[in-house]
Chain A
């Protein structure tokens, strides 16, 4: 890994006013780094702040505090021109391939849009570049003249990916890119993303709400719960040796594919709702749903303690029994 990470996020906080004087603490002090060509999976249940984090990193939302460094440059409060330059190097793919494409633009125009915005359409090769991008994501040059409604869901997501690749970015933020897709198409898109990463050497910030989706694509995985990261580590660490109860619960919800192994694993069922991000529980934010919760969990906030490159924010961090 090169000395300078592509993306470094330090103590990032994003709070929203809820309109009644209270504050929604959507992202509450998140730090991570992402090296060149590296792929980091960010996993957590709905409402834990993953999408807010993604949108804050690419500055669609203004961070409340903390720092975002892209290629070593601080873009936390970058002004228009700086930000425009930074946005040539990072790009985002959205969850809903129906909402993320302008219904009144032809596919070719949609893909050309980042190039036109940055004034590079002609320099990049114009129509030839569009044809090349379509080819890269497995579509045909002739598709450029069609409107989004003439494509299937999977094809639409490919167009979204082609658009994100148009400026040759170093970093791709994938905001649940396969969550809205059928299982069969999901596999196609993940394979495509995998291939792009090895061919182009992209860094991914891959956001998903289940661990299965990131397993194939990610080198490292961070687990997010209610605005904070509770555990992170290599793919092996997270899948084989999860230490945080929340990670263990998430893992146990991944269906077992081998029928012979079915029933052999302890199934953890969480009871209760995700606590409110307006008024999170004191101490550990997971304690209200945790089977290990002790009085200490309510009094002190567990820090993300590094244990051999496998940090976990739990007082009772342990390896899973199975």
Chain B
């Protein structure tokens, strides 16, 4: 074999799958591990709430205002309802709201961001002004107004939060698309005759979405806070147990039953903390990967 012939190649990096690399990256840092553990616990609790909860959260069958005990690990409220079961079912409500809002936000944000960044020109101008208009909407007060008009309910809460929480995501996706569309692999696809839809769906979005998903964790943490805040001021869905509702109920017993505000508050804190840490860890890894 001569010097310029096809000599065997320099060994490539060991075959690490991309997904496994991301997982390892998140779990490799203490904050990422904590975030993933908290978020994972939330999801498990939400899915298996009926199996994990010893009582129906609305059932009035225990001793009144009883401090944490073996029968009621987090105590009971003024009506004798089990707080532990309440917190578990509250996880479900929070995650259902956060999850559906997340899907809405991702769909709208990715669509607006991709069209805006890829089409450019007037489409970009129109969509970005629209995004700014939505970005300055006071989400919390808008949610209050909607609930004041239509009454409390999870469906309208999801819709109002979903349709107002996407601007950040759209901006991130747009920024990614703007830088990605200059890359040569896009030119390569076009040179072989790829349509615009194909370029966006197959080439650009898979590269733009990781940054958006990383941000989604932070957006959802805010959504959980808003949902809890609405419950706290008595505007939550009365038919669904939620952390905000529990904290609201606890107000009148702050001096006599410390467990009533503490545990729902802790649940909110841990959920928001978990999503934030996970979002940060994902941003570090996915944001830096090209």
Contact = CB atoms under 8 A, between A and B. Distances in A.
Contacts of B191: 58, 60, 87, 91-92
A146 interface: yes
Nearest to A155: B9
Interface stretch (A112-120, A202-210, A220-228): A112-120
Chain A interface residue number, banded: 35 or more
A19 B193 CA distance: 29
A150 B194 CA distance: 26
A158 to B, nearest CB: 9
A150 B15 contact: yes
Given A100-B185, A114-B192, A117-B193, A187 B12 contact: no
B206 A104 contact: yes
A114 B185 CA distance: 12
A155 B8 CA distance: 10
B184 A99 contact: yes
Given A117-B198, A138-B6, A191-B4, A163 B188 contact: yes
Contacts of B10: 152, 154
Contacts of A55: 187
A188 interface: yes
A100 B182 CA distance: 10
Contacts of A88: 193
Interface in B1-20: 3-7, 9-10, 12-13, 15-18
B241 to A, nearest CB: 41
Nearest to A115: B192
A178 to B, nearest CB: 12
A191 B6 CA distance: 8
Contact of B4 (A117, A152, A188): A188
B183 interface: yes
Given A60-B187, A87-B191, A154-B9, A104 B3 contact: no
A83 B193 contact: yes
B189 interface: yes
B192 A100 contact: no
B190 interface: yes
B193 A102 contact: no
B290 interface: yes
A155 B12 contact: yes
Contacts of A91: 191-192
A188 B6 contact: yes
Contact of A96 (B7, B12, B184, B198): B184
B284 interface: no
- Which 4 residue pairs across A and B have the least CB separation, nearest first? A100-B184, A114-B192, A84-B193, A99-B184
Given A150-B16, A191-B6, 19 more contacts: A60-B191, A83-B193, A87-B193, A88-B193, A92-B188, A100-B184, A100-B187, A114-B193, A117-B189, A117-B192, A117-B193, A118-B192, A138-B6, A146-B12, A147-B18, A154-B10, A155-B9, A187-B4, A188-B6
Interface of A: 55, 58, 60, 83-84, 87-88, 91-92, 94-96, 99-105, 113-114, 117-118, 138, 146-147, 149-152, 154-155, 160, 163, 167, 187-188, 190-192
Interface of B: 3-7, 9-10, 12-13, 15-18, 183-185, 187-194, 198, 203, 206-207, 289-290
6 contacts: A92-B187, A92-B191, A94-B184, A94-B187, A99-B185, A100-B185
